[in-house]
Homo-oligomer: A and B are copies of this chain.
Amino acid sequence: MTTIAFIGLGIMGSPMAVHLQKAGFDVIGINRTPEKTAALVEAGGRAAGSIAEAVPDADIVALMVPDSPDVVQVLREDGVLDHARPGTLVIDFSSIRPDIAAELAAEAEEKGLRMLDAPVSGGEPGAINATLSIMVGGAAADFEAAADVFAAVGKTIVHVGPSGAGQTVKAANQLIVAVNMEALAEAIVFLEAYGVDLPAAVEVLGGGLAGSAVLNQKAGKMLDRNFDPGFRIDLHHKDLGIVTAAAREAGVAVPAGALAAQLMGSARANGDGGLDHSGLYRGVARLSGIHHER
């Protein structure tokens, strides 16, 4: 039986670990807050107290943690790079900086490990329903070796290039989502100002070239002023820092992406960081002198 050490059992990681256990893997969960291993243990998995305890027994180590420094810590500080057996496959599902992903993969290779960056899109519903989109960077042989792991948690699973490429595509994904969200928010505030029939307008907009996954999933939240997350502005702000820095590094101009990054930062500055990213609507309303109740 293949043993997976799964580090980071949060909103995304917990249902992913449960799907892997149910798919026939032997999953050992490790989390800073030990109570979060409960769902995995209930599904027949195991819980471990530390990386040092769980990782030496694992054939595969999976990570799902919030940000680049978290991945660095989990790998380097009495972490996965010290405790994994040679040949272990490390799959990082976190969304982090592409350059750091490539650097860590090289470091893992020096230790005789194999590493894939495999950030996901689809949010909590995607994790719960095992329908995540997974964009994978690393060696083709390692991508193939991980096929059963990806199939247990995702639906659209694509190898996009060498180490870091998965994170690069995720960065582009977050740029598109943020800009499409801002466009939708501006359109809805504009239409509300003119008093058109909003549900009818959203229906007809969704039927043409203005249609999008963002419109389908988020227009209703904007019309209802319901910004419960979902995916938090704080995290999307982190991701826009990654994409604008990576674009700058490559000498690529991303004016709409940079604007969205500024407006996402403004949303945080106005105390909306804990809201769903559809809360960009509140920023457009504020800019237009419209102040809704939270």
Q: Is A43 interfacial (CB 8 A cutoff)? A: no
Instruction: Decide if A173 touches B205 in the complex (CB within 8 Å).
Output: yes
* Interface bits A240-259 vs B (CB < 8 Å: 1, else 0): 00010011001111111101
A138 to chain B, nearest CB (A): 12
Chain B residues contacting A195 (CB-CB under 8 Å) are 161, 165
Interface size counted on chain A using CB atoms at 8 A:
74
Q: Please measure, in the bound complex, the distance between the C-alpha atom of A254 and the C-alpha atom of B183, giving whole angstroms.
A: 8
* Interface bits A51-85 vs B (CB < 8 Å: 1, else 0): 00000000000000000000000000000000000
Q: Please measure, in the bound complex, the distance between the C-alpha atom of A191 and the C-alpha atom of B171, giving whole angstroms.
A: 9
Q: A211-B213, A212-B213 are known contacts. Are A172 and B201 too (CB-CB below 8 A)?
A: yes
* Interface bits A189-204 vs B (CB < 8 Å: 1, else 0): 1110111110011011
A218 to chain B, nearest CB (A): 9
Copies per complex of this chain: 2
A124 to chain B, nearest CB (A): 12
Report A156-195 residues with CB < 8 Å from chain B CB: 156, 158-161, 164-165, 168-169, 171-173, 175-177, 179-180, 182-184, 186-191, 193-195
Query: Which residue on chain B has the smallest CB distance to residue A161?
Result: B196
Instruction: Decide if A177 touches B287 in the complex (CB within 8 Å).
Output: no
Instruction: Decide if A179 touches B256 in the complex (CB within 8 Å).
Output: yes
Q: A161-B195, A180-B180, A194-B250 are known contacts. Are A204 and B169 too (CB-CB below 8 A)?
A: yes
Chain B residues contacting A186 (CB-CB under 8 Å) are 175, 179, 247, 252-257
Instruction: Decide if A172 touches B134 in the complex (CB within 8 Å).
Output: no
Instruction: Decide if A159 touches B256 in the complex (CB within 8 Å).
Output: no
Q: Please measure, in the bound complex, the distance between the C-alpha atom of A161 and the C-alpha atom of B288, giving whole angstroms.
A: 22
10 nearest CB pairs, A to B: A121-B208, A156-B207, A212-B212, A179-B183, A253-B287, A176-B210, A133-B208, A172-B187, A193-B250, A158-B204
Which residue numbers of A lie inside 8 Å of B, CB to CB?
Answer: 98, 121-123, 126, 133-135, 137, 155-156, 158-161, 164-165, 168-169, 171-173, 175-177, 179-180, 182-184, 186-191, 193-197, 200-201, 203-205, 207-215, 217, 243, 246-247, 250-257, 259-260, 263, 284, 287-289
